[in-house]
Homo-oligomer: A and B are copies of this chain.
């Protein structure tokens, strides 16, 4: 009888996962582990065991550890996109909206430092561009591009190439976030300074 084997206590049973579910569960558990204990403690064995699944079940869904990390990174870009878009709309756009986006971006990085590191980590550039990851990263970046175009249309920002402006703003905010994660600067206050200065440099 297929119901007679008792699941180990405190663990989900392997047969709870049907098509697509284990894949999602693996990414979720990896994100949870990274957030709680850091990248160094992420092991495929640990992820599998915590889900009540064998250490190698993962290989049905991901080519290797780096592929799992790619999915983790993609998930991070989706959350970052949601946070920055919410920040923009919560202010009704405008310069306040752009400033709120920067603050939200930095806050995401500071509250999810390990996840953020995976999103921009070395593990990704050693492999061919992962389509899901590339799409998630592009979508997150597009929120900033759209914001800049809206500001230009409203004559609130200098009419340089919006892509170039977006990359410049992104680099600044990314640098602040990274140095903040490293504990080298107070990222929140430095982002405030940037929000005061950046419009001066980019206004028409």
Contact = CB atoms under 8 A, between A and B. Distances in A.
B182 A178 contact: no
A198 interface: yes
B179 A170 contact: yes
A190 interface: yes
A142 interface: no
A171 interface: yes
Interface string A47-90: 00000000000000000000000000000000000000000000
A197 B179 contact: no
Chain multiplicity (copies): 2
Contact of A201 (B114, B190, B198): B198
A183 B122 contact: no
A178 B177 CA distance: 12
Interface residues of A, number: 36
- Mostly, the A contact residues are helix
A125 interface: yes
A193 B168 contact: yes
A145 to B, nearest CB: 13
Contact of A197 (B126, B168, B185): B168
A182 to B, nearest CB: 6
Interface string A1-44: 00000000000000000000000000000000000001110000
A137 B185 CA distance: 13
Nearest to A114: B122
